Amino acid sequence: RLALARKTQSISTTANMSEENSGNLKKQLSKLFEASLRETVPSVLDVEPLVAACTAKFGDYQCNNAMSLWSKIKGKTTDFKGPPAVGQAIMRNLPSSEMIESCSVAGPGFVNVVLSKTWLAEKIQKMLIDGIDTWAPKISINRAVVDFSSPNIAKEMHVGHLRSTIIGDTLARMLEFSKVDVLRRNHVGDWGTQFGMLIEFLFEKFPNFKDVNETAVGDLQAFYKASKQRFDADPAFKEKAQKAVVRLQGGEPKYRQAWAQICDISRKEFDKVYQRLGVHLEEKGESFYNPFIPGVLEGLSNQGLVEESEGARVIFIEGINIPLIVVKSDGGYNYASTDLTALWYRLNEEKADWIIYVTDVGQQQHFDMVFKAAKRAGWLPANGSMFPKASHVGFGLVLGDDGKRFRTRASDVVRLVDLLDEAKTRSKAALVERGKAEEWTEEELEQTAEAIGYGAIKYADLKNNRLTNYTFSYDQMLNDKGNTAVYLLYAHARICSIIRKSGKDVEELKKTGVLVLGHPDERALGLHLLQFAETVEEACTNLLPNVLCEYLYNLSEYFTKFYSNCQVVGSAEETSRLLLCEATAVVMRKCFFLLGIVPVYKI
């Protein structure tokens, strides 16, 4: 109810005055075209300008409205003979602007725009002075919850959790960059019937479990497995384990204490991974929401949404033939009861406008049902593109060389720490082979190996559309050629070294020098730099990190082209070109930052 009463709004696509200062070219052009469309066909209301970047042959951007407008006015007007004439009128009515150098109409009415290179150069120079944050997306919401990583206590974090951690962190970073207040939530699986068997098992092994330290417990996952085997094989143990669940949930101190102890041991293991990945999360596990479940379900029951079905209490969802079970037939709560309650909490207590869940695609139906139940309850607007909004960010599997789910030789789940170790070891070996052990301090060697190794793992994951499965390959991700983090980190380090070796003070150049985009390759690089803002905005609003990776890779390609065709140091254009190098490095570093990759400055 509360959620419904709050102002619903859609992501603002219409530019406002402050947009003038943002780096978003597409939005600025859209604003100009919007004015022109209104002027051209006043009878057609609310036309969204269809503006997109296009291939250099025709121009930098293209407006694509003539055809659809024609189909709306055809037969009702004699003003135009066909779509090309509509296109001509759109072009004529375009308000004059410093950003546009020339326009032309092509084919069935496409309006092509060539941007002014003086204007582009000025914008880049302004960014260098005011900082890259002035190119941050403008997203019209206050707060987001990103629910990611979310491993399960006593079970190992697996590659699926790695994907969730990497993707979720990037999304959180992009939203934070957009000045959204982000609650980074670790929805740890710390509640449920598995604790009964695990606790009883540990009590048997360690009669004084309370005094046992974590190293003695060692591998919790192994205990979990063993307790499960015991549970399945031994009816007496099974009964004891089931009773333990009741005692735990009833709050019996000995059981509570053991539970807390187990969670703590797991948490320390998870934290090691987060620390190495540079990922920050705030834990609110399943147990946190437990006390709120009865109240939330009562509210839903009062609304008439909860029904009885085969002994369980369920919510029926239109279009899905299985209902969402919210109370099991034994009276217990489940994953869905917790998620519904967590959603309620996030909307009403935490006042989140956007709640984003990062899990494998296998959980898509679960979230679909939870969101639809929330819509039935009126917590979320029926129109899914309005805020407050809930989004499931699904991702595919990580595969091994054999094309099957990625596993170790013993066919166990791969341990994340082992993956990180291996990537670091390999990247360090590659650096040593290139003679860096003699050149650098041990600390530099370590830090660079980590930046490259962990960066490689992250980038290999993020560069694919998240829904596709990908094959985990150290050889591929640690290759210094092609679309890899190593290649990109080296490209960035090389730019830094060009600037360093010039002996010039870039801070001084920013103030006194002038950036000019004279050569076609300079212009192409400059235009791409200015497309950073609209790219991050797209990646962020569509929850697609691969869009940013593609941008970053193309950026390094544009730079390479520029650098091989335009002499920097010692040329007449040295100052301007050094500024362009600096702008490229700044944008690259921002991309790295948003992808959670630590840049390196020396190679």
Note the residues at the interface with ligand ARG (CB under 6 A): 147, 150-152, 187, 189, 339, 342, 357, 359
Within 13 A of 249's CA, how many CA atoms are on the CB side? 20
* Helix, strand, or coil (residue 477): helix
- Which of residues 311 and 362 has its CB atom nearest to ligand ARG in the complex? 362
- Which of residues 110 and 371 has its CB atom nearest to ligand ARG in the complex? 371
Of 148, 139, 147, 146, nearest in space to 180 by CA? 139
- Which of residues 362 and 482 has its CB atom nearest to ligand ARG in the complex? 362
* Cα radius of gyration rounded to whole Å, the chain: 28
Rounded to a whole number of angstroms, the minimum distance from the CB of residue 599 to ligand ARG is: 31
- Contacts by residues 573-578 (CB-CB < 8 Å, ≥ 24 positions apart): 573/516, 573/518, 574/502, 574/504, 575/504, 575/509, 575/513, 575/514, 576/513, 576/514, 576/515, 576/516, 576/518, 577/522, 578/498, 578/499, 578/502, 578/504, 578/506, 578/509, 578/513
Rounded to a whole number of angstroms, the minimum distance from the CB of residue 57 to ligand ARG is: 46
- Which of residues 65 and 359 has its CB atom nearest to ligand ARG in the complex? 359
- Which of residues 84 and 189 has its CB atom nearest to ligand ARG in the complex? 189
185 phi and psi angles, rounded to 5 deg: -100, 125
Burial-class residue 144 by CB neighbours within 10 Å (0-12, 13-18, 19+).
Answer: buried
Residue with tokens 């899990």: 359
- Which of residues 390 and 549 has its CB atom nearest to ligand ARG in the complex? 390
Task: Give the dihedral sign, CA 339/345/350/352.
Answer: positive
Q: How far apart are CA 279 and CA 272, in angstroms?
A: 10
Of 583, 471, 23, nearest in space to 463 by CA? 471
Rounded to a whole number of angstroms, the minimum distance from the CB of residue 188 to ligand ARG is: 7
Rounded to a whole number of angstroms, the minimum distance from the CB of residue 135 to ligand ARG is: 32
Number of H helices, E strands in the chain: 25, 16
| Structure tokens belonging to residue 495 | 């730019």
Rounded to a whole number of angstroms, the minimum distance from the CB of residue 418 to ligand ARG is: 19
- Which of residues 357 and 563 has its CB atom nearest to ligand ARG in the complex? 357
Rounded to a whole number of angstroms, the minimum distance from the CB of residue 185 to ligand ARG is: 8
- Which of residues 266 and 502 has its CB atom nearest to ligand ARG in the complex? 266
- Which of residues 22 and 152 has its CB atom nearest to ligand ARG in the complex? 152
Rounded to a whole number of angstroms, the minimum distance from the CB of residue 152 to ligand ARG is: 5
- Which of residues 8 and 365 has its CB atom nearest to ligand ARG in the complex? 365
Rounded to a whole number of angstroms, the minimum distance from the CB of residue 475 to ligand ARG is: 29
Q: How far apart are CA 242 and CA 117, in angstroms?
A: 72
Question: Within 41-186, where are the H helices?
Answer: 66-73, 83-92, 117-130, 159-177
Rounded to a whole number of angstroms, the minimum distance from the CB of residue 504 to ligand ARG is: 50
| Structure tokens belonging to residue 224 | 């979990």
Q: How far apart are CA 466 and CA 39, in angstroms?
A: 42
Q: Is residue 427 within 8 Å of 452, Cβ to Cβ?
A: yes
- Which of residues 34 and 190 has its CB atom nearest to ligand ARG in the complex? 190
Rounded to a whole number of angstroms, the minimum distance from the CB of residue 568 to ligand ARG is: 49
Contacts of 186 (CB under 8 A, 6+ apart): 148, 149, 150, 270, 281, 282, 283, 284, 285
Within 13 A of 83's CA, how many CA atoms are on the CB side? 15
* Helix, strand, or coil (residue 435): coil
Q: Please give the DSSP secondary-structure letter assigned to residue 544.
A: -
Of 154, 148, 147, 195, nearest in space to 332 by CA? 195
- Which of residues 185 and 528 has its CB atom nearest to ligand ARG in the complex? 185
Task: Give the dihedral sign, CA 140/142/147/149.
Answer: positive
Of 425, 452, 419, 423, nearest in space to 162 by CA? 419
Q: How far apart are CA 193 and CA 330, in angstroms?
A: 12
Rounded to a whole number of angstroms, the minimum distance from the CB of residue 294 to ligand ARG is: 19
Rounded to a whole number of angstroms, the minimum distance from the CB of residue 151 to ligand ARG is: 6
- Which of residues 339 and 521 has its CB atom nearest to ligand ARG in the complex? 339
Within 422-555, strands assigned E span 470-471
Instruction: List residues bridging with 81 in a β-sheet.
Output: none
